[in-house]
Amino acid sequence: MRFLILALLIFTSFSAVSEGQLVLENGWVRAAPPMAKNLAGYGELGNNSSQSISIVSMSSPFFKKVEAHKTSFVGGMMKMQQITNMQLKPGVIFKFAPGGMHFMLMKPNRAITENLEVPIHLTTELGEKYTFYFVVKK
């Protein structure tokens, strides 16, 4: 019996890899003081499919607005810029990490407390919708 369950688990994870298209790993949101107007989400977003995937919009029920941003230094000043054409080629992984690309989560409509799982919806050019969960931590 135990062997059977193990075999099923292995089968399930293999099929998830071959069927998955957009995947997010290690999604997290940096915990912020209660009054914070903007929070940032991080993680690795990958394309497991054989075709390019364009993300045309993103949202979260916990925030008024969600955007993908990149951080750059212009004349010694840190600037954030929205990534408007987010296209992932097959096999590509976008690494969202502190100091670089991030999901800018604007105007929370509820308390964003530690360990909360924040759902973020991504919509592709083809109208496919994905929901990924980002856990709030320090």
Task: Report the b/e string of 96-133 with b at 16+ CB within 10 A.
Answer: beeeebbbbbeebeeebeeebebebebebeeeeebebe
Q: How far is the CB of 102 from Cu ion (least distance, A)?
A: 6
80 belongs to the binding site for Cu ion (CB under 5 A):
yes
Instruction: Phi first, then psi: give them for residue 29, nearest 5 degrees.
Output: -120, 135
Q: CA 20 to CA 29: how far, in whole Å?
A: 23
Residues 81-120 that bind Cu ion (CB under 5 A): 104
Q: Contact, 61 vs 108, CB < 8 A?
A: no
Segment interacting with Cu ion (CB under 5 A) among 54-62, 63-71, 105-113, 129-137: 63-71
Measured at CB, which residue is nearest to Cu ion?
Answer: 69
Instruction: Phi first, then psi: give them for residue 38, nearest 5 degrees.
Output: -130, 135
Looking at the Cβ atoms of 103 and 132, the one nearer to Cu ion is: 103
42 belongs to the binding site for Cu ion (CB under 5 A):
no
69 belongs to the binding site for Cu ion (CB under 5 A):
yes
Q: How far is the CB of 50 from Cu ion (least distance, A)?
A: 31
Q: How far is the CB of 67 from Cu ion (least distance, A)?
A: 7
The residue ranges that bind Cu ion (CB under 5 A) are 69, 80, 104
